[in-house]
Amino acid sequence: MYRYAKLRNRVTRTFGMGADEVAADPFIADLVAALSPDRVKSDGAHRALLSHDASVFDGGNSGPVVFPETTAEVAAVMAAAQTHGRNVVPRGAGTGLAGGAIPLGVPVVVAVTKMDEIHEIDTDNGIAWVGPGVVNLDLTKRLGPLGYHFAPDPSSQQVCTIGGNVANNSGGPHCLAYGVTNAHILAMEVVLPSGEVVMLGGLDAEPAGYDLRGAFVGSEGTLGITTKIAVRITKNRPEVRTLLLSFDSVTDAANTVSGVIAAGIVPAAMEVMDQRITVAVENYVNAGYPRDAAAVLLAEVDGLAAGVDLDAERIAEIGRENGATNVKLAGSDEERALLWKGRKTAFGAIAQLAPDYYLHDTVVPRSKLAEVLQQTYDIAERHDLVIMNVFHAGDGNLHPLILFDARDEGVLERVHAAGAEIITASLDAGGVLSGEHGIGVEKQKFMDRMFSSDDLDHQNRLRQAFDPGCRTNPGKVIPTGHSCADIQSLRSIPKEVWA
């Protein structure tokens, strides 16, 4: 696959760095002193591996990679980076799709995956303290026997980390009713770029002062590194009803979503998949999806039995009013789990069709869903590309997947051109750049389409309040010409240190 080919090439280019050169670098020496030799990696293989994330964007070039285990170690790394004038990029599982974890400027990459302890679970107060490296689904599995779960549930929840969820303010299918990550973070222990350790937010109902917790969530690693997180845990609802509705067109499915919300019903989740991806999913997991439907709508309601039965009946009725050809109610927890397994493995399922994909993440008003969806199909056709649509329909968060084989000459240019047109179409419809994946490098150049110069200036000022040197994840989010990191992101490292 394309990503692995890039990795092999970068390993070949970087593995030749001499050990003597590394040993002579005082920055490496300080990192080793702060952690231990086995958790400071400067060989070409580690640097190559962490020069990429799950996006299609190339151009990353990692410096040394460190694996801290404690807040004190993260603070020491940040202090050493400041002393030596080096940039820093925080990294979780690397599942981000917007290029947010790609290291620019040969920075030290701070991988927090070893900080994976669930420190405390307090069901009396509905709180858990966790490390940033805790995998999203692992937290819910730990909470399950206690009757709780962690509500944000990205499709990558089997591998993505809570720290990464905080960085990108991640969402997921069930965030329609429960809210994205920001709604579930109470407090965070954060190491600032200076190495200072601070607590943002608090467990009080109304913490004093500015909401710096809210500013940090979704900052994509540009303000510091979180080392301990107080998350809100959600009690499992007593009853759940899951429906699968089939349609002869994506437009009918989108109109059903608008109709459900207009009726005053707020389901826990509403997900739409078009026929191409539905067939791929069904071939992959045999979840019970109809292969002949042009689109399917997966809707879920939870709460007390009487209420969810009424909501499920009304959703089915609205679906039929909008042309639903079949309505199926999951008859057991096992059937419900299988339907959701199909949705959560949708992106993996497309490997049957193409070795590579480019996944977008814009949000449009629900009233514009059908219109923008049709535009995505038209854009793909103009660029001679195959596109599939799967999306968080309840909040208008589109996830069009462009399928391609990077070995085909000129295909990447067409893919990026189509992606740019999809972003433009979404913004023209009154939408926004991202629902949960973040800006990273993917949508950076479109920020001035959505924000004024004054808006971007104030975002940059906020960043500088946390990071005066603009050394933390430079070259991301705020576009060139508005960012304090324009120069820092291009800071050259002496060639005698990093080849």
User: What one-character DSSP code corresponds to residue 28?
Assistant: H
Q: What string of pLDDT tens digits covers the 499 residues of the chain? A: 444 344 334 333 333 333 444 456 899 999 999 999 999 999 999 999 999 999 988 889 999 999 999 999 999 999 999 999 999 999 999 999 999 999 998 999 999 999 999 999 999 999 999 999 999 999 999 999 999 999 999 999 999 999 999 999 999 999 999 999 999 999 999 999 999 999 999 998 888 889 999 999 999 999 999 999 999 999 999 999 999 999 999 999 999 999 999 999 999 999 999 999 999 999 999 999 999 999 999 999 999 999 999 999 999 999 999 999 999 999 999 999 999 999 999 988 988 899 999 998 999 999 999 999 999 999 999 999 999 999 999 999 999 999 999 999 999 999 999 999 999 999 999 999 999 999 999 999 999 999 999 999 999 999 999 999 999 999 999 998 888 766 554 443 433 333 3
Fold classified for 2-111: 3.30.43
CATH of domain 354-428: 3.30.70.2740
CA 248 to the chain's CA centroid: 31
Residues 44, 15: contact at Cβ < 8 Å? yes
Among 388, 378, 379, residue whose Cα is nearest residue 357: 388
Among 113, 75, 81, 108, residue whose Cα is nearest residue 94: 113
How does strand 225-232 pair with strand 185-191?
antiparallel
Query: How much is the pTM?
Result: 0.91
* Second-level CATH architecture of 118-235: 2-Layer Sandwich (3.30)
Domain boundaries, the chain: 2-111, 118-235, 239-348, 354-428
- φ/ψ region of 264 (left if φ > 0, alpha if ψ in -120 to 50, else beta) reads left
The two domains 2-111 and 118-235 share their CATH topology (first three levels equal): no
Residues 87, 107: contact at Cβ < 8 Å? yes
Calpha distance 419→411 (Å, rounded): 12
Class in CATH terms, 239-348: alpha beta
